[in-house]
Amino acid sequence: MVRMLISFGVLLIANAIGLAVAAWVLDGMTIDGVAFVTAVLIFSVVGAIAQPFFTSMAMKSASALRGGTALVTTLVGLIITVWVSDGLTISGLSTWIAATVIVWLAALLAGLIVPLFIGKKVVEEARS
């Protein structure tokens, strides 16, 4: 249970970084400061629910497409977050495509780097 909570915490941080980077880079994407937390929560929950669904669909239909499920999940997460939340807006097809790739890539990198910092902190606390 603790491991699952830590994983979801890392997911929240990684998605927050991904959304912030995309909003910073793209002119057609804005995130309201107050609603940012709500947008991150919605996006993360949708991603956590949708990813296994899309992965199982890809495994049944075409296993070669399994790697693309993360991009599809990111796009679906953005669509639902924009639809449900007032804090995130994305305008223009090119912005949608770029936002999907940027959020996915930034969240992926943050998801790899953030646990290193958390693990380092836990090891340092255990030593002292």
pLDDT, one tens digit per residue, over 69-103 is 888 889 999 999 999 988 889 999 999 999 999 99
State pTM to two decimals.
Answer: 0.81
Question: What single DSSP character describes residue 58?
Answer: H
Residue 19, pLDDT score: 92
Share of the chain above pLDDT 70, in %: 85
- Low-confidence residues of the chain, pLDDT below 70? 1, 58, 61-67, 119-128
Residue 106, pLDDT score: 93
How large is the C-alpha radius of gyration of the chain?
Answer: 16
- Per the structure block, which two tokens stand in for 77? 């997460």
Task: In whole angstroms, give the CA distance from residue 100 to residue 68.
Answer: 12
In 3D space, the residue among 1, 7, 3 whose CA is nearest the CA of residue 114 turns out to be: 7
DSSP string, 76-101: HHHHHHHHH-SSEEE-SHHHHHHHHH
Looking at the chain, list the stretches that DSSP marks H as alpha helix, in order from N- to C-terminal side: 2-25, 36-61, 69-84, 93-127
Residue 33, pLDDT score: 80
Residue 89, pLDDT score: 92
Task: Name residue, tokens 């977050």.
Answer: 81
